[in-house]
Chain A
Amino acid sequence: MRKYILLSVLLLTAISCQQFKEVGGVEKIAQITTNVAVTSNTVDPNVPRPDKYTVKFINYDDNYEVRKTTDASGKVSADDIIPGKYTVTVSGEIAEKGFTYYYSGSLTNINIIEGGQTLNIDVVASKAGSLILKEIYFNGALGYYFKDQFYEIYNNGDEVQYVDKLCIGNILPASPSTTSYTWEVPDGHPENYIYFGAIWQIPGDGNDYPVQPGESIIIAQGAQNHKLLKPTSPVDLSGAEFETFIVNQTVNPDNPNSINMDLRIGFTVFGTQWLVTVFGGAYAIFIPEGDIDNTTWVQPQGLSTKAKEIPIDLVIDAVEIVNNSTKINQKRMPTSLDAGATYTGGAYNSKSVSRRVKEVREDGRIIYWDTNNSTEDFKVNDVAVVRRDGVGIPSWNTWAK
């Protein structure tokens, strides 16, 4: 017995010592200085550059943000940084010859621990005027109802856009998670792709479905009047232009008016509907070069999960949605496509996310924010609304009320 008592005492002492050792020498926190140098090496030399950039240091763990403006050389120093994990975003814009050029770049989940370090951020430029994901309703309604999910794609530019062959999908992991994938791709550069679990494609020959500036299309999981099917649902999607229809069932009927999209990749599509997690997916739209080969796929190291790799260069717009602010550090979308993330903070509450209005033109057309940073561009709505802000309906949609 004495032997066991002695062993117990020694074991407890050893545990205590280890615990005490781990907190020994910990110092009080102090603010540090961090430098940022912004470059635009990959942007065409003929494209105009902004005079200055806005640099934001965002520490999601502490809900702490520092905002600075660079000098003309693209450099800035911040002396009030709390050591921690940061997402650093750079944004700038310049208007010239009728076009607005948006510059953006970021570093995500970097540890700023030591003072005096310099972060080099290379920005890319995009010209406003392409299709954007305007509103996403993924949350579902009270009573575990999620058949009313929809995606609104808006023409934010000045020219007509054809959505023929446009693809939409969600990438993997399906939910924000501390588990991440190390993708194995043939060219050995996994950073050049995003990895879809599902891809749906709009049919058409290239000029069947024009979307004028200020108009939007609705892609519904099921193009039904969900207010009738489920009283808690906030939306009537019977006027949706497209639906992700799989098979005609009593519970998932086909809307003969709404155009059925083609399921190109369905690794994460199960049953009779395209359900993306109500806790927040990461979505992208793109137009592929030719047909999508669904006979090939990639897998993460050591896992049997399948995904279709799509080059980042093809992506038109992307949005990262997470559960809540504590999950932003687990975002999946590359920062070059979306430097931030948006969230509603809950599920089955009829909430949606939509872009904030940047300006209203003289003709009444709305221009939405599109800086490739969902944290900045999006807002949370208490109730999802189809074609919020009264945006236009394509003329070929004769069934929308």
Chain B
Amino acid sequence: MKKYIIISIIALSSMFNAQAQGSKAATYPTMIEISQAKALWFNSTNAAGMILTPMTNYNILSVGYDIKNGEYRLQQEGDRNNLNINTAGARSLGNARVWGEFTYQNSTIKDTRYNTILLEPRYDMPYYIADPNLSYWKRQTYEMSVKGASPILWDLVGFGVSANYFTKVGAKQIDPRCTSFKYGISVIPSAVFTFGEKHSAGISFTYVNSFERTSPTNSNNQQEQSAYLMKGLGNYADGVVGSLNSLGTYYYKENKIGAALQYGFNGDSFDVLAEAKNTYQVIDVMQSPTKPQRMGSTVQKITGGNIQAIINPEGDLTGKITLDGYRKNTDGIEYIQEIDKSYEVQQWVTIAKYIRSTYQFTAASLKYDLYRNSDAGYNWMAGIQGIYSNRADEYIVPNSTFKAENIYGEIYGKKNIMAGDNSILIGINAGYNYNLNGSYSYNGSNPESRVVKDMYEKDLAVMSANYYQFGVNINASFPIWKGTSLYVAGNCQYLRSTDTMNQYAYVVDKDGSNFRWNIKDDSSLKPSQRVIATISIGFTF
């Protein structure tokens, strides 16, 4: 795998480097940032449209390290240290446009619970193995993405495609442990049609296929480990890792299709792109490849859309409005199966299947950014955004529900200070999350279980807490040679829950080990917090 990393980095870097040699102007991160903001079609699923709103040619190669620490986290989330290597670039190939990116990430995730097998646990995948042991994970991710757009042919139509391939591997390091592998591809062919100078329309189709395989095991084979076969919202069956009747290999088969329509308007002083999209995804969860047993399936439908508008793109002041919204409905299907005991058959046969749980997530966001343009990208920028999210999950019988509804507001800004040819970009941001609604009602057969008390109730407290967040970031860029700049960047975010504003405040005691509900005026408790810090060094050219 290492050789693929090296080859990919060299290929992507050298592909674009030849073009960069001819330019003596330095490439600053602000130039790439505002170029991406103005490239409306690049931010859609339609790669063909890149030809209509092209980005500036750029290349970037960076190495970064980031940490996420603090008690304000979901139980499966843990504290994280990531090493990131990233290279990306965009350029013209004749009259066509191409863009590519490769990312490698090496992660150590500490203090996680209730996830024995999944590389990326998420609430709308309820079928997995969990255990209550405090654990940590090692994980590596390799991901490559490309987009390409043909020239407009016959003044009417252009074609494009975007593709993504990823491979992930990880291992849980405490019994019960596992080794997990996941790979996936996505292909999104697209076409864009132009109607005169101002109007354009596009269509794109999505196909995604991924596969994850994970095998639970123990290092200490004298000690079996109890595990939960999770079914959603705190419901589970008992299982064991180890011994002759250990839980077997789990595997996840995902297929996803989708389609999107776009409409673009190129006005005299503003550009608009609207997109409506829909996807349909099925993931089957199976156990034991040699005698497959269905552990569940999820069916997910996402319907959404977004509108981007650039105001006065060529003027001194450029504004960008982004409105985005989508609704995600996921059905959790459980199977009633029995063994066909016929001689020489011995296979699991499905007797019936039902939707046992549903997971609804609605999100909407509105964002406005204002840029003061300059030769170095922009002189300053300021923005404001609001994000609404609503999660509503239900286990149908016995009925259990989980709800978390939040609204988040944030303001931010950056100032680009030029010192000669050097650029120092300083940014600050501050935001506040206000919880509108949060509840968890469990009516299953294990109301006192750790899954209910230690996982779901704590996660609810995190997801329904009010919190404030602020941060500062800095990026210092130094031209070093013929259009090539060296940059050093850092970012630090601090998040703290507020224990006086909401009955679902998430607080821990001083050693960080306990958890309380509805705590007011207790000096022995403190609100939980989270620190996210990133440092990176790289080149732009």
Asked if A26 and B229 sit within 8 Å, CB to CB, the answer is no
Any A CB within 8 A of the CB of B450: no
Q: Does B32 contact A (CB under 8 A)?
A: no
- A61 CA to B239 CA in the complex, in Å? 11
Chain B residues with Cβ below 8 Å from A325 are: 237-238
Which residues of B340-356 have CB atoms within 8 Å of chain A's CB atoms? 341, 343-344, 346, 348, 351-356
Q: A20-B282, A178-B346 are in contact. Are A26 and B257 (CB under 8 A)?
A: no
| Cα distance, A62 to B339, chains bound together (Å) | 18
Report yes or no: A324 in contact with B336, Cβ–Cβ below 8 A. no
Q: Contact check, B344 vs A302: say whether CB atoms are below 8 A apart.
A: yes
Mask for A134-161, Cβ within 8 A of B = 1, else 0?
A: 0000000011100000000000000000
| Cβ of B132 to closest chain A Cβ, rounded Å | 14
B336–A26 touching, CB < 8 Å: no
- Interchain CB contact under 8 A, B336 and A64: no
A26-B333, A109-B338 known; A175 vs B354 contact (CB < 8 Å): no
Interface assignment of A365: CB less than 8 Å from any CB of chain B: no
Q: Which among A63, A178, A180, A347 has the highest number of chain B CB atoms within 10 Å?
A: A178
- Chain A residues near B209 (CB, 8 Å)? 12, 15-16
B410 is an interface residue with CB less than 8 A from chain A: no
- Are A323 and B240 interface neighbours, CB within 8 A? yes
Please, which residues of chain A bring their CB within 8 A of the CB of B297?
22-23
Which B residue's beta carbon lies closest to that of A325?
B238
Out of A64, A142, A175, A178, which one reaches B244, CB within 8 Å? A175
B284 within 8 A of A: yes
- Residues from chain B with a CB closer than 8 A to the CB of A60 are 237
Instruction: Report which of A12, A62, A111 forms a contact with B445, defined as CB distance below 8 A.
Output: A62
The reply to whether A111 and B352 form a contact with Cβ atoms under 8 Å apart is yes
Known: A23-B282, A144-B222, A302-B343. A28 touches B396 (CB 8 A): yes
* B299 CB contacts on chain A under 8 angstroms: 23, 26
Q: Are B243 and A63 neighbours in the complex by a CB distance under 8 Å?
A: no
Q: Is B515 an interface residue (CB 8 A)?
A: no
Evaluate whether A30 and B240 lie within 8 angstroms (CB atoms) in the complex, with A19-B255, A23-B333, A62-B445 already known: no
Contact, CB under 8 Å: A30 / B397:
yes
Give the distance in Å from the alpha carbon of A326 to the alpha carbon of B336 in the complex: 14
- Interface status of B95 (Cβ within 8 A of chain A): no
Residues of B within 8 A of A19 (CB): 253, 255, 282, 284
CB neighbours of B280 from chain A (8 A) = 20
Indicate whether B224 reaches chain A with its CB closer than 8 angstroms. yes
A13 nearest CB neighbor, chain B only: B207
The size of the chain B interface, using a CB distance under 8 A, is: 46
Query: Once bound together, how far apart are the Cα atoms of A325 and B348, in whole Å?
Result: 19
- B interface, over-half SS: strand
Q: Which of B315-364 contact A (CB under 8 A)?
A: 331, 333, 336, 338-339, 341, 343-344, 346, 348, 351-356, 358
Task: Answer whether residue A368 sits at the interface, using C-beta atoms and an 8 A cutoff.
Answer: no
Chain A contacts with B in 311-363, Cβ cutoff 8 A? 323-327, 345-348
Chain A residues near B513 (CB-CB < 8 A): none
Q: Is the CB of A175 within 8 A of B245?
A: yes
Q: Does A176 contact B (CB under 8 A)?
A: yes
Interface extent on A, as a size class? 35 or more
- Most central of A22, A27, A182, A325 by chain B CB within 10 Å: A22
A16 CA / B356 CA spacing, docked (Å): 23
Verify if A230 is at the interface (C-beta below 8 Å from B).
no
Give the chain B neighbours of A182 by CB distance below 8 A. 341, 343
Q: Enumerate chain B residues within 8 angstroms of A73, measured Cβ to Cβ.
A: none
Decide if A113 is an interface residue (CB 8 Å cutoff): yes
- Near A by CB (< 8 A), chain B positions 223-241 give 224, 226, 229, 235, 237-240
A111, B398: Cβ atoms closer than 8 Å:
no
Query: Given A113-B336, A302-B343: A61 and B253 within 8 A (CB)?
Result: no
Contacts of B355 in A (CB 8 A): 26-29
Q: Which chain B residue shows the least CB distance to A24?
A: B299
Asked if A276 CB lies within 8 Å of chain B CBs, one says no
Q: Are B339 and A83 in contact (CB under 8 A)?
A: no
Contacts of B353 in A (CB 8 A): 23, 26
Check A279–B446 contact: CB distance below 8 A.
Answer: no
A301 within 8 A of partner (CB): yes
Give the CA-CA distance A182 to B238 in the complex, in Å: 29
The minimal Cβ–Cβ distance linking A85 to chain B, given in whole angstroms, is 6
Q: What is the chain B residue whose CB lies nearest that of A65?
A: B445
Question: In whole Å, how far is A145's beta carbon from the nearest beta carbon of chain B?
Answer: 10
Residue of A29, A111, A179, A277 most packed against chain B (CB within 10 A): A29
Whether A16 lies near B245 (C-beta < 8 A) is no
> CB-nearest residue of chain B relative to A143?
B222
Is A31 part of the contact surface with B, judged by Cβ < 8 Å? yes
Q: A29-B354, A175-B245, A178-B346 are in contact. Are A84 and B336 (CB under 8 A)?
A: yes
Decide yes or no whether A82 CB sits under 8 A from chain B: yes
Q: Assess whether B445 is in contact with A63, with CB atoms less than 8 Å apart.
A: yes
Complex: chain B residue closest to A178, CB-CB: B339
Q: How far is the CB of B66 from chain A (nearest CB, A)?
A: 35
Taking CB atoms, residues of chain A closer than 8 Å to B199 are: none
Q: Which of B351, B352, B445 contacts A64 (CB 8 A)?
A: B445
Interface contact A327-B397, CB-CB below 8 Å: no
Identify which of B237, B284, B331 contacts A63 (C-beta below 8 A).
Answer: B237
Residues of B within 8 A of A15 (CB): 209, 255
Return the CB mask of A175-189 against B: 1 if under 8 Å, else 0.
110111010000000
In the complex, chain B residues whose CB is within 8 Å of the CB of A302: 343-344
Instruction: Choose one: B237, B240, B244, B282; the contact of A61 (CB below 8 Å).
Output: B237
B520 within 8 A of A: no
List the interface of chain A (C-beta within 8 A of B): 12, 15-16, 19-20, 22-23, 26-31, 60-65, 82-85, 109, 111, 113, 142-144, 175-176, 178-180, 182, 277, 279, 301-302, 323-327, 345-348
Can you name 18 extra interface pairs (CB under 8 A) apart from A63-B445, A178-B339? A16-B207, A16-B209, A16-B255, A26-B333, A29-B356, A29-B396, A62-B445, A111-B336, A113-B351, A142-B222, A175-B245, A277-B244, A279-B243, A302-B344, A326-B238, A346-B224, A346-B243, A347-B243
Could you list 24 examples of A-B contacts with CB < 8 Å?
A20-B282, A22-B297, A23-B282, A26-B355, A28-B354, A31-B397, A60-B237, A61-B336, A62-B445, A82-B398, A84-B336, A85-B338, A85-B351, A113-B336, A144-B222, A178-B346, A178-B348, A279-B243, A302-B344, A323-B240, A324-B240, A325-B238, A345-B238, A346-B226
